[in-house]
Amino acid sequence: MAPPRRQPELIEDAISEILLRALPDEPAELVRASLACKLWRRILTDPVFLRRYREFHRTPPLLGFFHNLKDGRTPRFVPTTTASSPVPQPEFDGHDWWAYDCRHGRVLLGLGSRRDGPDGFVVWDPITGDQHRLPRPYGDWHLYGTSAVLCAVASCNHRNCHAGPFNVVYMGSYYDDIAGCWIIQASVYSSETGMWAKSASLDFNCTCYSTSRALIGDVLYFTILGGKRILQYELNKNCLSVFDSPDMCEEGAFLMQMEDGSIGISRIRGSSIYLWSRNVNPEGVVGWVQCKVIGLDKIKMLPPDDCCNGAYIFGSADNIGVMFIRTYLGVFTFDFKSGQARKVSKPIKCCAAIPFTSFYTPDCASKKLPSPVEAH
Protein backbone atom coordinates (compact mmCIF):
# COMPACT_ATOMS: atom_id res chain seq x y z
CA MET A 1 0.00 0.00 0.00
CA ALA A 2 1.35 3.40 -0.97
CA PRO A 3 2.24 5.72 1.93
CA PRO A 4 0.09 8.81 2.42
CA ARG A 5 1.22 11.83 0.37
CA ARG A 6 2.47 14.23 3.04
CA GLN A 7 5.80 15.16 1.53
CA PRO A 8 4.82 18.71 0.46
CA GLU A 9 3.55 19.47 3.98
CA LEU A 10 6.73 18.08 5.53
CA ILE A 11 8.88 20.19 3.18
CA GLU A 12 6.87 23.30 4.00
CA ASP A 13 7.19 22.63 7.75
CA ALA A 14 10.96 22.17 7.40
CA ILE A 15 11.34 25.39 5.40
CA SER A 16 9.26 27.22 7.99
CA GLU A 17 11.51 26.00 10.83
CA ILE A 18 14.63 27.07 8.93
CA LEU A 19 13.27 30.53 8.11
CA LEU A 20 12.15 30.93 11.72
CA ARG A 21 15.81 31.06 12.73
CA ALA A 22 16.86 33.83 10.36
CA LEU A 23 18.42 36.62 12.44
CA PRO A 24 16.11 39.63 12.82
CA ASP A 25 19.01 42.11 13.00
CA GLU A 26 19.67 41.45 9.30
CA PRO A 27 16.13 41.84 7.91
CA ALA A 28 17.36 41.80 4.30
CA GLU A 29 17.78 38.02 4.64
CA LEU A 30 14.04 37.48 5.13
CA VAL A 31 13.14 40.00 2.42
CA ARG A 32 15.44 38.26 -0.09
CA ALA A 33 14.07 34.87 0.96
CA SER A 34 10.51 36.06 0.25
CA LEU A 35 11.56 36.69 -3.36
CA ALA A 36 12.84 33.14 -3.89
CA CYS A 37 9.51 31.55 -4.78
CA LYS A 38 5.78 31.71 -4.09
CA LEU A 39 6.00 29.04 -1.36
CA TRP A 40 8.60 30.96 0.63
CA ARG A 41 6.69 34.22 0.25
CA ARG A 42 3.49 32.55 1.43
CA ILE A 43 5.30 31.24 4.51
CA LEU A 44 7.04 34.53 5.27
CA THR A 45 3.90 36.64 5.01
CA ASP A 46 1.65 34.23 6.90
CA PRO A 47 0.42 35.89 10.15
CA VAL A 48 0.90 32.64 12.10
CA PHE A 49 4.54 32.35 11.03
CA LEU A 50 5.20 36.04 11.74
CA ARG A 51 3.72 35.72 15.22
CA ARG A 52 5.92 32.68 15.87
CA TYR A 53 8.94 34.55 14.47
CA ARG A 54 8.51 37.47 16.86
CA GLU A 55 7.85 35.18 19.81
CA PHE A 56 10.91 33.07 18.94
CA HIS A 57 13.27 36.07 18.81
CA ARG A 58 11.40 38.02 21.51
CA THR A 59 13.35 41.31 21.47
CA PRO A 60 13.01 43.65 18.46
CA PRO A 61 16.46 44.14 16.91
CA LEU A 62 18.49 47.32 16.63
CA LEU A 63 18.22 48.57 13.04
CA GLY A 64 20.13 51.83 13.42
CA PHE A 65 19.99 55.25 15.01
CA PHE A 66 18.79 58.75 14.26
CA HIS A 67 20.84 61.84 14.97
CA ASN A 68 20.17 65.53 14.63
CA LEU A 69 22.10 67.91 12.41
CA LYS A 70 23.33 71.24 13.70
CA ASP A 71 22.34 73.12 10.55
CA GLY A 72 18.64 72.51 11.21
CA ARG A 73 18.10 70.00 8.41
CA THR A 74 15.93 66.92 8.78
CA PRO A 75 17.49 64.35 11.17
CA ARG A 76 19.52 61.58 9.56
CA PHE A 77 19.18 57.81 9.96
CA VAL A 78 22.32 55.66 10.20
CA PRO A 79 21.72 51.90 9.73
CA THR A 80 23.53 49.30 11.82
CA THR A 81 22.63 46.46 9.44
CA THR A 82 25.31 45.23 7.04
CA ALA A 83 22.91 45.10 4.08
CA SER A 84 20.88 47.99 2.72
CA SER A 85 18.72 49.64 5.35
CA PRO A 86 14.98 48.94 5.43
CA VAL A 87 14.44 52.31 7.14
CA PRO A 88 14.10 55.29 4.78
CA GLN A 89 15.65 58.65 5.47
CA PRO A 90 12.98 60.90 7.01
CA GLU A 91 11.39 63.41 4.63
CA PHE A 92 9.00 66.04 5.92
CA ASP A 93 7.85 69.46 4.80
CA GLY A 94 10.14 72.13 6.20
CA HIS A 95 13.69 71.75 7.49
CA ASP A 96 13.62 72.70 11.17
CA TRP A 97 12.86 69.22 12.55
CA TRP A 98 14.41 67.71 15.65
CA ALA A 99 14.40 63.98 16.59
CA TYR A 100 13.53 63.51 20.26
CA ASP A 101 12.97 59.81 20.84
CA CYS A 102 12.47 56.35 19.30
CA ARG A 103 10.58 53.59 21.06
CA HIS A 104 8.27 50.68 20.22
CA GLY A 105 8.85 51.08 16.48
CA ARG A 106 7.99 54.80 16.44
CA VAL A 107 10.03 57.98 16.00
CA LEU A 108 9.09 61.25 17.69
CA LEU A 109 10.09 64.42 15.85
CA GLY A 110 9.39 68.02 16.80
CA LEU A 111 9.09 71.07 14.55
CA GLY A 112 10.56 74.36 15.72
CA SER A 113 13.19 75.67 18.11
CA ARG A 114 14.17 73.44 21.00
CA ARG A 115 14.61 76.51 23.18
CA ASP A 116 11.16 77.98 22.54
CA GLY A 117 9.48 74.61 22.44
CA PRO A 118 8.20 72.66 19.44
CA ASP A 119 5.42 74.11 17.31
CA GLY A 120 4.13 70.58 16.88
CA PHE A 121 5.16 66.93 16.75
CA VAL A 122 5.08 64.05 14.30
CA VAL A 123 4.99 60.44 15.44
CA TRP A 124 6.36 58.48 12.50
CA ASP A 125 6.49 54.73 11.92
CA PRO A 126 9.39 54.23 9.46
CA ILE A 127 8.41 50.61 8.81
CA THR A 128 4.83 51.30 7.68
CA GLY A 129 5.31 54.94 6.71
CA ASP A 130 2.40 56.10 8.88
CA GLN A 131 2.58 59.64 10.28
CA HIS A 132 0.53 61.11 13.09
CA ARG A 133 0.60 64.90 13.50
CA LEU A 134 0.31 66.31 17.02
CA PRO A 135 -0.41 69.92 17.96
CA ARG A 136 1.89 72.01 20.13
CA PRO A 137 1.47 71.31 23.86
CA TYR A 138 -0.57 74.14 25.32
CA GLY A 139 0.74 76.64 27.85
CA ASP A 140 3.80 78.87 28.16
CA TRP A 141 6.08 76.30 29.69
CA HIS A 142 8.17 75.12 26.77
CA LEU A 143 11.70 76.29 27.53
CA TYR A 144 14.23 73.52 26.86
CA GLY A 145 11.71 70.69 26.88
CA THR A 146 12.26 66.99 26.32
CA SER A 147 9.92 64.26 25.12
CA ALA A 148 9.34 60.52 24.85
CA VAL A 149 7.00 58.32 22.82
CA LEU A 150 5.69 54.96 24.02
CA CYS A 151 3.04 52.35 23.28
CA ALA A 152 -0.20 52.93 25.19
CA VAL A 153 -1.42 49.32 25.27
CA ALA A 154 -1.31 47.75 28.73
CA SER A 155 0.71 44.50 28.95
CA CYS A 156 1.89 44.82 25.32
CA ASN A 157 5.07 42.88 24.51
CA HIS A 158 6.02 45.62 21.99
CA ARG A 159 7.00 43.16 19.29
CA ASN A 160 4.39 44.34 16.78
CA CYS A 161 2.50 47.38 18.02
CA HIS A 162 2.71 49.45 14.83
CA ALA A 163 -1.01 50.13 14.50
CA GLY A 164 -1.82 50.45 18.21
CA PRO A 165 -2.42 53.58 20.28
CA PHE A 166 0.49 55.54 21.71
CA ASN A 167 1.29 58.28 24.21
CA VAL A 168 3.74 61.16 23.98
CA VAL A 169 5.13 62.54 27.24
CA TYR A 170 6.45 66.11 27.07
CA MET A 171 8.49 67.65 29.88
CA GLY A 172 8.55 71.44 29.67
CA SER A 173 9.93 74.16 31.93
CA TYR A 174 8.74 77.64 32.80
CA TYR A 175 9.67 80.27 35.34
CA ASP A 176 6.94 81.02 37.91
CA ASP A 177 7.21 84.71 38.86
CA ILE A 178 4.98 84.28 41.88
CA ALA A 179 6.84 81.27 43.30
CA GLY A 180 10.18 82.68 42.18
CA CYS A 181 11.46 79.37 40.82
CA TRP A 182 11.48 77.10 37.79
CA ILE A 183 8.65 74.61 37.38
CA ILE A 184 8.93 71.35 35.44
CA GLN A 185 5.55 70.40 34.00
CA ALA A 186 4.64 67.06 32.43
CA SER A 187 2.01 66.84 29.71
CA VAL A 188 0.74 63.62 28.12
CA TYR A 189 -0.76 63.25 24.64
CA SER A 190 -3.02 60.29 23.90
CA SER A 191 -3.54 59.15 20.31
CA GLU A 192 -6.90 57.72 21.43
CA THR A 193 -8.30 61.08 22.59
CA GLY A 194 -6.20 63.28 20.27
CA MET A 195 -5.57 65.69 23.13
CA TRP A 196 -2.84 66.84 25.51
CA ALA A 197 -3.52 66.65 29.23
CA LYS A 198 -1.49 68.44 31.88
CA SER A 199 -0.08 66.04 34.38
CA ALA A 200 2.34 66.29 37.30
CA SER A 201 4.51 69.32 38.08
CA LEU A 202 7.64 69.80 40.17
CA ASP A 203 9.37 72.85 41.65
CA PHE A 204 12.97 72.46 40.57
CA ASN A 205 15.43 75.20 39.72
CA CYS A 206 16.50 74.05 36.26
CA THR A 207 15.26 73.50 32.75
CA CYS A 208 14.70 69.91 31.63
CA TYR A 209 16.73 69.62 28.45
CA SER A 210 17.84 65.98 28.18
CA THR A 211 19.93 63.85 25.82
CA SER A 212 19.17 60.49 27.46
CA ARG A 213 15.93 58.81 28.47
CA ALA A 214 14.85 55.29 29.43
CA LEU A 215 11.56 53.51 30.04
CA ILE A 216 11.36 50.71 32.62
CA GLY A 217 7.88 49.37 33.28
CA ASP A 218 5.67 52.43 33.64
CA VAL A 219 8.48 54.76 34.75
CA LEU A 220 10.27 57.21 32.43
CA TYR A 221 13.73 58.52 33.32
CA PHE A 222 15.45 61.60 31.84
CA THR A 223 18.93 62.96 32.51
CA ILE A 224 18.96 66.68 33.35
CA LEU A 225 21.59 69.22 34.37
CA GLY A 226 24.11 67.63 32.02
CA GLY A 227 23.58 64.16 33.51
CA LYS A 228 24.11 65.22 37.14
CA ARG A 229 20.47 64.61 38.06
CA ILE A 230 17.77 62.23 36.85
CA LEU A 231 14.13 63.21 36.42
CA GLN A 232 11.69 60.36 37.11
CA TYR A 233 8.09 60.30 35.91
CA GLU A 234 5.76 57.52 37.06
CA LEU A 235 3.00 57.36 34.49
CA ASN A 236 0.47 55.32 36.46
CA LYS A 237 0.96 57.35 39.66
CA ASN A 238 1.26 60.66 37.79
CA CYS A 239 4.25 61.56 39.94
CA LEU A 240 7.43 63.55 39.21
CA SER A 241 10.63 63.36 41.28
CA VAL A 242 14.34 64.03 40.95
CA PHE A 243 17.34 62.13 42.31
CA ASP A 244 21.11 62.44 41.98
CA SER A 245 23.27 60.56 39.50
CA PRO A 246 26.47 58.86 40.71
CA ASP A 247 29.21 61.34 41.62
CA MET A 248 31.24 60.66 38.47
CA CYS A 249 28.34 61.22 36.10
CA GLU A 250 28.00 64.38 34.07
CA GLU A 251 27.79 65.15 30.35
CA GLY A 252 28.17 61.94 28.38
CA ALA A 253 26.27 59.75 30.87
CA PHE A 254 23.49 57.63 29.38
CA LEU A 255 20.64 55.73 30.99
CA MET A 256 19.92 52.07 30.34
CA GLN A 257 17.92 49.17 31.72
CA MET A 258 19.96 46.61 33.67
CA GLU A 259 19.47 42.85 33.41
CA ASP A 260 17.65 42.80 36.76
CA GLY A 261 15.20 45.46 35.55
CA SER A 262 16.71 48.34 37.54
CA ILE A 263 17.77 51.69 36.10
CA GLY A 264 21.44 51.95 35.20
CA ILE A 265 23.74 54.67 33.94
CA SER A 266 27.04 54.48 32.07
CA ARG A 267 29.87 56.86 31.29
CA ILE A 268 33.38 56.73 29.86
CA ARG A 269 36.05 58.28 32.03
CA GLY A 270 39.68 58.03 31.05
CA SER A 271 40.16 54.68 29.33
CA SER A 272 37.26 52.77 30.97
CA ILE A 273 33.48 52.43 30.83
CA TYR A 274 31.86 52.77 34.26
CA LEU A 275 28.44 51.27 34.87
CA TRP A 276 26.20 51.88 37.89
CA SER A 277 22.91 50.32 38.94
CA ARG A 278 20.34 51.85 41.30
CA ASN A 279 19.05 49.28 43.76
CA VAL A 280 17.78 48.84 47.30
CA ASN A 281 20.53 47.77 49.75
CA PRO A 282 19.97 45.36 52.69
CA GLU A 283 19.10 48.33 54.94
CA GLY A 284 16.29 49.32 52.57
CA VAL A 285 18.05 52.42 51.24
CA VAL A 286 17.88 53.14 47.51
CA GLY A 287 21.26 54.10 46.07
CA TRP A 288 23.77 53.68 43.28
CA VAL A 289 26.18 50.75 43.16
CA GLN A 290 29.11 50.65 40.75
CA CYS A 291 28.59 47.23 39.20
CA LYS A 292 31.11 47.11 36.36
CA VAL A 293 34.24 48.76 35.01
CA ILE A 294 35.31 47.80 31.48
CA GLY A 295 38.65 48.86 30.04
CA LEU A 296 38.34 50.12 26.48
CA ASP A 297 41.44 48.10 25.61
CA LYS A 298 39.55 44.92 26.60
CA ILE A 299 36.70 45.46 24.15
CA LYS A 300 37.10 43.37 21.03
CA MET A 301 37.14 45.24 17.72
CA LEU A 302 37.47 48.73 19.21
CA PRO A 303 40.40 50.71 17.77
CA PRO A 304 43.72 50.82 19.69
CA ASP A 305 44.10 52.87 22.88
CA ASP A 306 45.55 55.91 21.15
CA CYS A 307 42.52 55.99 18.84
CA CYS A 308 40.10 55.85 21.79
CA ASN A 309 41.42 58.98 23.47
CA GLY A 310 38.37 61.17 23.83
CA ALA A 311 35.96 58.23 23.33
CA TYR A 312 32.45 59.28 24.26
CA ILE A 313 29.18 57.44 24.91
CA PHE A 314 26.53 59.27 22.93
CA GLY A 315 23.63 56.82 22.91
CA SER A 316 22.18 53.74 24.54
CA ALA A 317 19.49 51.30 23.43
CA ASP A 318 18.03 51.14 26.92
CA ASN A 319 16.24 47.79 26.57
CA ILE A 320 18.84 45.60 24.83
CA GLY A 321 22.13 46.47 26.53
CA VAL A 322 23.79 48.15 23.55
CA MET A 323 25.55 51.51 23.67
CA PHE A 324 27.03 53.75 21.00
CA ILE A 325 30.63 54.88 21.43
CA ARG A 326 31.97 57.77 19.37
CA THR A 327 35.68 57.96 18.57
CA TYR A 328 37.53 60.07 16.04
CA LEU A 329 37.75 56.97 13.81
CA GLY A 330 33.99 56.42 13.76
CA VAL A 331 30.92 55.26 15.68
CA PHE A 332 30.92 51.81 17.30
CA THR A 333 28.19 49.76 18.95
CA PHE A 334 29.15 47.90 22.12
CA ASP A 335 27.09 44.93 23.31
CA PHE A 336 27.38 44.37 27.07
CA LYS A 337 26.37 40.71 26.82
CA SER A 338 28.86 39.65 24.15
CA GLY A 339 31.54 42.19 25.05
CA GLN A 340 32.07 42.94 21.37
CA ALA A 341 32.13 46.20 19.46
CA ARG A 342 31.34 46.84 15.81
CA LYS A 343 31.94 49.89 13.67
CA VAL A 344 28.68 51.14 12.20
CA SER A 345 29.47 54.60 10.91
CA LYS A 346 32.16 57.07 9.98
CA PRO A 347 32.79 59.92 12.48
CA ILE A 348 29.71 61.98 13.28
CA LYS A 349 29.50 65.36 14.98
CA CYS A 350 26.37 65.25 17.12
CA CYS A 351 25.50 65.14 20.80
CA ALA A 352 23.32 62.03 20.88
CA ALA A 353 22.35 58.89 18.97
CA ILE A 354 18.68 57.88 19.21
CA PRO A 355 18.46 54.09 18.69
CA PHE A 356 15.68 52.60 16.58
CA THR A 357 14.56 49.01 17.27
CA SER A 358 11.84 47.13 15.41
CA PHE A 359 11.10 43.86 13.63
CA TYR A 360 11.15 44.30 9.86
CA THR A 361 9.53 41.35 8.10
CA PRO A 362 8.30 40.78 4.53
CA ASP A 363 4.71 41.63 5.47
CA CYS A 364 5.95 45.13 6.40
CA ALA A 365 7.76 45.35 3.06
CA SER A 366 5.00 43.80 0.94
CA LYS A 367 4.05 47.08 -0.75
CA LYS A 368 7.66 47.73 -1.70
CA LEU A 369 8.60 44.30 -3.06
CA PRO A 370 8.19 42.92 -6.56
CA SER A 371 6.50 39.57 -7.02
CA PRO A 372 8.75 36.44 -7.03
CA VAL A 373 8.26 36.17 -10.80
CA GLU A 374 9.26 39.81 -11.39
CA ALA A 375 12.28 39.42 -9.11
CA HIS A 376 13.65 36.69 -11.38
SS3 370: coil
Q: What are the tens digits of pLDDT across the range 3-59? A: 455 446 668 888 999 999 998 988 888 888 888 888 888 899 899 999 999 999 999
Looking only at Cα atoms, what is the longest distance across the chain?
Answer: 94
Q: Between the CA of residue 53 and those of 104, 127, 160, 366, what are the distances in Å?
A: 17, 17, 11, 17
What is the rounded distance in angstroms from the CA atom of residue 277 to the CA atom of residue 288? 6
Closest CA to 171 of 142, 192, 151: 142
Q: What are the tens digits of pLDDT across the range 123-136? A: 999 888 888 998 87
What is the rounded distance in angstroms from the CA atom of residue 220 to the CA atom of residue 233? 5
- Which domains occur in the chain, in start order? 7-50 (no CATH), 59-363 (2.120.10.80)
Residues in the chain, total: 376
Beta carbons within 10 angstroms of residue 271's beta carbon = 13
pLDDT value at 142 more than 70: no
Q: What are the tens digits of pLDDT across the range 60-81? A: 999 999 998 776 667 889 999 8
Q: What is the mean pLDDT of the chain?
A: 83
The residues with which 222 forms a beta bridge, in sequence order, are 213, 231
DSSP string, 23-43: -TTSTHHHHHHHTT-HHHHHH
